[in-house]
């Protein structure tokens, strides 16, 4: 529920509305706007209380309108948080005009492979190294990742190369440990609605990259983000990684480029685009990476392997370091070309 105040509402009237909300045992959040103030109720409102509250608040001085929010998220919404969230990871900022590239292999395979990848992506300008230690694969017979050993390799390599890291966590019991080894916790597409995992990652307060499930609507995705936010984690980034495709003969997923402007309009959370899983073939990755950059994504997550033909997972969609270096130059050119035109 959101209480829209009149333009001429006084401080005292706004305060009185907040107190009335508290009298009903609920929290209030004052949302200053350009023209007028709104007061939001971020907590869940018991259904029987809604009409009572509506009647009480509508009749108060200075109140223009009581709006019922029917979307399954509040804290993730721009209505409740008009300004862009900027996620801070070490010295890197993401969101609100700050752009970051996260790149690296699908999986940590060995110390040598991770080191080679980290050096290559850093040299090309990536700020964050991506690599999975826990690999939830479609088949239990596929490579499942080096798990704890993978996390140790990531930490060692990150210190050696001086780069930040993002890696997936799949089990709520691993969150605390993983948070000690890596800088950004990734929640994979298959786990977008793993609620115990969302709660645990929410409590950890570590920056998090929440991937969209290939079958999730925007509402379901933002509602999943809401679990992170309501559990105290404000450092949330969303990641579009492709939705179920119409034509699997040609592409692995369909990158939903629409999600970029739609999320930017409805939410304040940064949106990162993963063109690698989004289309699934290295030859197409640069084109969609550039499209996402031009569309206004806050960053990219790109699979890069020092030797894609030898990769233990997702080699087909992984760029080699040369292709990634060339793509980084194109990304910079797109950003530089648009910057003066985007300036407010
Ligand atoms: C990954 O990033 O390697 C991954 C497994 O992605 P997704 O969860 O989007 O399939
Ligand atoms: Mn992958």
DSSP H helices, the chain, are 11-23, 49-58, 111-124, 148-161, 175-181, 195-204, 218-230, 259-266, 275-279, 285-295, 321-342
pLDDT value at position 136? 83
Structural domain count of the chain: 2
User: Are residue 93 and residue 58 in the same domain, yes or no?
Assistant: no
pLDDT value at position 127? 98
* Cα-to-centroid distance, 9 and ligand 2 (Å): 53
Does the pLDDT at position 344 exceed 90?
no
181 vs 35: which has the higher pLDDT: 181
User: Are residue 121 and residue 238 in the same domain, yes or no?
Assistant: yes
Four-CA torsion 176, 178, 184, 188, nearest 10 degrees: -100
CA distance to 139, 145, 178, per residue, from 135 (Å): 11, 5, 14
User: Are residue 122 and residue 7 in the same domain, yes or no?
Assistant: no
User: Are residue 235 and residue 319 in the same domain, yes or no?
Assistant: yes
Lowest model confidence (mean pLDDT) among 129-143, 159-173, 290-304: 129-143
pLDDT value at position 328? 98
CB of 107 sitting under 6 A from ligand 1: no
User: Are residue 204 and residue 59 in the same domain, yes or no?
Assistant: no
Q: Decide which of 38, 67, 96 is a domain's last residue.
A: 67
User: Are residue 191 and residue 51 in the same domain, yes or no?
Assistant: no
Q: Decide which of 17, 39, 67 is a domain's last residue.
A: 67
pLDDT value at position 105? 98
User: Are residue 240 and residue 313 in the same domain, yes or no?
Assistant: yes
Determine the angle formed by the axes of helices 11-23 and 49-58, rounding to 10 degrees. 160
222 vs 45: which has the higher pLDDT: 222
* Cα-to-centroid distance, 191 and ligand 2 (Å): 14
Q: In what order do the strands lie in the sheet with 2-5?
A: 29-31, 38-40, 2-5, 63-67
Q: Is residue 72 part of a domain?
A: no
Domain that holds residue 38: 2-67
pLDDT value at position 44? 84
User: Are residue 171 and residue 270 in the same domain, yes or no?
Assistant: yes
- Asked whether the beta carbons of 291 and 330 are under 8 A apart, the reply is no
- Counting residues of the chain whose pLDDT is more than 70, the rounded percentage is 100
DSSP state of 273: E
- The span from the CA of 40 to the CA of 48, in Å, is 18
Residue-by-residue DSSP string for 308-333: GGG-SS-GGGPBPHHHHHHHHHHHHH
Q: Is residue 22 part of a domain?
A: yes
| Partners of residue 103 on adjacent β-strands | 129, 302
CB of 277 sitting under 6 A from ligand 1: yes
Q: Is residue 74 part of a domain?
A: no
CB of 189 sitting under 6 A from ligand 1: yes
User: Are residue 214 and residue 271 in the same domain, yes or no?
Assistant: yes
Q: Decide which of 35, 67, 99 is a domain's last residue.
A: 67
Please report, for the domain that includes residue 16, its CATH number.
3.30.70.1140
Q: What are phi and psi of 63, to 5 degrees?
A: -90, 130
- The span from the CA of 251 to the CA of 3, in Å, is 46
pLDDT value at position 33? 77
Give me the mean pLDDT over the 160-182 stretch. 97
User: Are residue 118 and residue 259 in the same domain, yes or no?
Assistant: yes
Q: Is residue 79 part of a domain?
A: no
Q: Is residue 73 part of a domain?
A: no
**Nearest atom in ligand 1 to 189's CA:** 8
User: Are residue 134 and residue 257 in the same domain, yes or no?
Assistant: yes
Give me the mean pLDDT over the 201-209 stretch. 96
Burial of 113 (0-12, 13-18, 19+ CB in 10 A): buried
DSSP state of 215: T
Q: How many helices (H) and strands (E) does the chain have?
A: 11, 14
Q: Is residue 78 part of a domain?
A: no
Does the pLDDT at position 316 exceed 90?
yes
Please report, for the domain that includes residue 263, its CATH number.
3.20.20.70
- Counting residues of the chain whose pLDDT is more than 90, the rounded percentage is 90
User: Are residue 236 and residue 151 in the same domain, yes or no?
Assistant: yes
- Interval 263-296: pLDDT, tens: 999 999 999 999 999 999 999 999 999 999 999 9
**Nearest atom in ligand 1 to 277's CA:** 9
Q: Is residue 260 part of a domain?
A: yes
């Amino acid at each position: 529920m959101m209480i829209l105040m009149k333009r001429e509402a006084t401080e005292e009237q706004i305060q009185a509305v907040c107190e009335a909300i508290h009298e009903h045992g609920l929290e209030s959040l004052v949302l200053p706007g350009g023209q007028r103030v709104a007061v939001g109720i971020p907590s869940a409102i018991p259904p029987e209380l809604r009409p009572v509250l509506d009647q009480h608040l509508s009749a108060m001085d200075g109140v223009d309108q009581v709006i019922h929010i029917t979307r399954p998220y509040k804290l993730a919404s721009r209505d409740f948080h008009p300004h862009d969230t900027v996620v801070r990871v070490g010295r890197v900022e993401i969101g609100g005009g700050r752009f970051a590239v996260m790149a690296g292999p699908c999986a940590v395979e060995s110390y040598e492979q991770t080191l080679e990848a980290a050096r290559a992506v850093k040299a090309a300008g990536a700020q964050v190294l991506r690599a999975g230690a826990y690999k939830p694969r479609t088949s239990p017979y596929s490579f499942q990742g080096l798990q704890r050993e993978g996390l140790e390799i990531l930490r060692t390599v990150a210190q050696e190369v001086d780069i930040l890291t993002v890696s997936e966590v799949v089990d709520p019991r691993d969150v605390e440990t993983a948070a000690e080894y890596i800088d950004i916790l990734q929640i994979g597409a298959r786990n977008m609605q793993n609620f115990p995992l969302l709660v645990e990652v929410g409590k950890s307060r570590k920056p998090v990259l929440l991937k969209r499930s290939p079958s999730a609507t925007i509402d379901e995705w933002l509602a999943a983000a809401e679990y992170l936010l309501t559990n105290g984690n404000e450092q949330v980034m969303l990641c579009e990684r492709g939705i179920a495709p119409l034509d699997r003969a040609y592409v692995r997923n369909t990158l939903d480029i629409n999600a970029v402007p739609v999320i930017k309009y409805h939410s304040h959370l940064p949106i990162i685009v993963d063109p690698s899983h989004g289309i699934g073939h290295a030859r197409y990755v640069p084109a969609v990476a550039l499209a996402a950059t031009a569309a206004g994504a806050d960053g990219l997550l790109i699979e890069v392997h020092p030797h894609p033909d030898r990769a233990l997972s997702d080699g087909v969609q992984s760029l080699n370091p040369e292709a990634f270096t060339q793509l980084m130059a194109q990304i910079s050119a797109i950003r530089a070309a648009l910057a003066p035109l985007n300036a407010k």
